[in-house]
Amino acid sequence: MKLKQLPREYQKAIPVLNKLEQAGFEAYFVGGSVRDILLDQPIHDVDIATSAFPEEIKQLFPKTIDIGIEHGTVLVLAEEEQYEITTFRTESTYQDYRRPDHVEFVRSLEEDLKRRDFTINAFALKEDGQIIDLFDGLADLENQILRAVGDPQERFHEDALRMMRGIRFVSQIGFTLEQETAAAIQANHSLLGKISVERINVEFIKMLLGKERSTGLRTFVETQCYIYCPGLRDYGEALLRFADLPDEPLQTESQAWALLIDQLGLQESEIRPFLKEWKCSNQMIREVQMIVHGLIQRKRQMLEPMVLYCLGKENALKTEELMIYFGETPQLEQVAKCYDQLPITSMRELAIDGKKLLSVSDKKPGKWVSDALQAAERAVVEGNLANEASALVDYLQQNNHL
b/e code 319-334 from CB counts within 10 Å (16+ = b): bbbbbebeeeebeeee
**Are 399 and 375 spatial neighbours (Cβ–Cβ below 8 Å)?**
yes
What are the DSSP calls for 219-281, one per residue? HHHHTTGGGGSTT-TT-HHHHHHHHTS--PPP--HHHHHHHHHHHHT--HHHHHHHHHHTT--
Query: Quick one: pLDDT at residue 172?
Result: 94
CATH ID of 1-135, from 3.30.70.940, 3.30.70.100, 3.30.365.10, 3.30.460.10: 3.30.460.10
Confidence of residue 99 (pLDDT cuts 50, 70, 90): low
User: Model confidence over 383-396: pLDDT tens digits?
Assistant: 999 999 999 999 99
Does 45 count as an annotated binding residue?
A: yes
pTM for this prediction: 0.90
| 159 appears as a binding residue in the annotation | yes
Given a cut of 70, whether residue 96 has pLDDT beyond it is no
Instruction: Calculate what percentage of the chain has a pLDDT beyond 90.
Output: 88
Alpha helices by DSSP H, listed for 322-400, are 332-340, 354-359, 367-381, 389-398
pLDDT band at 93 (very low <50, low <70, confident <90, very high): low
Phi, psi dihedrals of residue 240, rounded to the nearest 5°: -70, -35
Identify which of 188, 185, 200 has the alpha carbon closest to the alpha carbon of residue 231: 200
Mean pLDDT score of the chain: 94
Q: What's the mean pLDDT in 107-130?
A: 94
In this predicted model, what pLDDT tens digit does every residue of 59-81 receive, in sequence order? 999 999 998 888 899 999 988 89
In this chain, the answer to whether the domains covering 249-341 and 349-397 adopt an identical fold is no
Tell the CATH topology of 143-243.
Answer: Hydrophobic Seed Protein (1.10.110)
32 known ligand binder: yes
Distance of CA 349 to the CA centre of its chain: 35
The whole-number pLDDT of residue 79 equals 82
List, as one string, the DSSP characters of 182-200: HHHHHHHGGGGGGS-HHHH
> How far apart are the C-alpha atoms of 397 and 400, rounded to whole Å?
5
140 is in an annotated binding site: no
Closest CA to 295 of 250, 325, 252: 325
**Over the range 242-277, which residues count as b (16 or more CB within 10 Å of their CB) and which as e?**
bbebeeeebeebbbbbbbbbbbbebeeeebeebbee
Whether residue 92 has pLDDT greater than 70: no
Q: Which CATH number fits domain 249-341: 3.20.20.140, 1.20.1440.60, 3.30.1360.170, 1.20.58.560?
A: 1.20.58.560
pLDDT tens sequence across 130-159: 999 999 999 999 999 999 999 999 999 999
Answer yes or no: are the C-beta atoms of 174 and 212 closer than 8 Å.
yes
Neighbour-count burial for 225-241, b at 16+ CB within 10 Å, e otherwise? bbbbbbbbeebeebbbe
Asked if residue 378 belongs to a known ligand binding site, the reply is: no
Q: Judge whether 72 is annotated as a binding position.
A: no
Q: Which residues pair with 87 in a beta bridge?
A: 50
Check whether 1 has a pLDDT greater than 90.
Answer: no
Where exactly are the structural domains of the chain?
1-135, 143-243, 249-341, 349-397
In the CATH hierarchy, which top-level class contains the domain 349-397?
mainly alpha
Residues 244-285: pLDDT tens digits?
999 899 999 999 999 999 999 999 999 999 999 999 999 999
- Annotated binding residue 362: no
pLDDT at position 14 is: 95
pLDDT at position 319 is 98
Say if strands 73-78 and 64-68 run parallel, antiparallel, or are unpaired: antiparallel
